[in-house]
Amino acid sequence: MQDDMDKVSGITDPVDRAKGAIDLMARYQSHVNELSRIRREAIEEAQASGMTQAEIAKRLGVSRGRVGQLASAGPPPERAFFGTDLVTVSLGGKYEAGKTPDQRPNEVIAREDLNNFEHLRKLLGGMKLDSQYEVIPPTGIVNLNRDNHVVVCGPRLSPIVAQVLEGDDNLRFAKDSVWHLVDQVEGKEYRSPQDEDGSAGDVGYLGRLPRLDGKGTFLYIAGIHAIGANGVVHFLENNLAELYREVRTRRFSTLITCRYDPKTLEVLESRRVTPLYRHEG
């Protein structure tokens, strides 16, 4: 820390020195936020184990009132579900309808995916996490070897994602006349209501999957149709704390069903329909 400060203070140009200070403060603030989250989670765990605030206060060398303050200060523990710093959300891109690659078409994002990002941005912002989105090109090539990464893209749009999904022995996308999801453990298929009777519903996949470099994981969200991913995001908005208590930052997968307003495409309700399959024992 002192070395970083010395480097900044030694910058000759005053504007560059100011910029260096701003950048360093932002980096340290992200560390402060994460340490505050860790502290809050630790106090909650101590209380859940049966310790009183008075006992915790004695161990920490602070007042009982201060323990109460610390127990509610800082980001919630479930913030770690997404990461510790700027979160990048990768959205699947398609070629603009009616044009072919030789016509230099534009890459476009589905309305549902942009809506997804807005919901995620608000959810993350409430936990003091900044976010940005990027477009996965129609080739489906995306760098999965990054921290703080969420991928919202169906396997049919990205062969790399499809390859990673092959490693899930519990849940899988499949296709006959239409795409659907399969619970291989229970031998049950989940098909989109859109394809069955045209009703406004869909099914989505939620999981934490391994990076290709073996050095971490990424959060993966996809629906049978684009709206299915919105159902997954809706589920996270309403169930994140409980989900985090169950899986923390370990690998898992599950399926989410949703119902939505066909006019506005806003998700009205979502629920989990399979167990939380843990991939790490």
Query: Which residues does 209 contact at the CB level (< 8 Å), separation at least 6?
Result: 164, 165, 167, 168, 217, 218, 220, 251, 253
Sequence ranges of the domains in the chain: 2-74, 81-278
Q: How far apart are CA 253 and CA 205, in angstroms?
A: 7
Q: Which of 220, 138, 212 lies closest to 171, judged by CA?
A: 220
At 14, the pLDDT band (50, 70, 90 cuts) reads confident
- What's at 216, amino acid-wise? G
Question: What does the pLDDT look like over 161-201, one tens digit per residue?
Answer: 999 999 999 999 999 999 999 999 999 999 999 999 999 99
Residue 31 has pLDDT above 90, yes or no: no
Q: Which of 136, 93, 89, 139 lies closest to 116, judged by CA?
A: 89
Q: Are strands 267-272 and 179-183 parallel, antiparallel or unpaired?
A: unpaired
Question: What does the pLDDT look like over 201-241, one tens digit per residue?
Answer: 999 999 999 999 999 999 999 999 999 999 999 999 999 99
The one-character DSSP state at 223 is E
Total residue count of the chain as it appears in this document: 281
Token couple for 281: 């024992």
At 58, the pLDDT band (50, 70, 90 cuts) reads very high
Q: What angle do CA 276, 280, 281 make, to 5 degrees?
A: 80
Which CATH number is correct for 81-278, 2.160.10.10, 3.40.640.10, 3.30.379.10, 3.20.20.30? 3.30.379.10
Q: Which of 189, 168, 169, 188 lies closest to 179, judged by CA?
A: 189
Please tell me the predicted confidence (pLDDT) of residue 98: 55
Q: How far apart are CA 214 and CA 212, in angstroms?
A: 5
Question: What does the pLDDT look like over 141-165, one tens digit per residue?
Answer: 999 999 999 999 999 999 999 999 9
Q: How far apart are CA 163 and CA 177, in angstroms?
A: 21
Q: Is the pTM of this model over 0.85?
A: yes
Please tell me the predicted confidence (pLDDT) of residue 26: 85
Let me know: does 191 contact 255? Beta carbons within 8 Å: no
Residue 101 has pLDDT above 90, yes or no: no
Residue 281 has pLDDT above 80, yes or no: no
Please tell me the predicted confidence (pLDDT) of residue 50: 95
Please tell me the predicted confidence (pLDDT) of residue 93: 84
Residue 103 has pLDDT above 60, yes or no: no
Q: Exposure of 49 by Cβ count < 10 A (0-12 exposed, 13-18 middle, 19+ buried)?
A: exposed
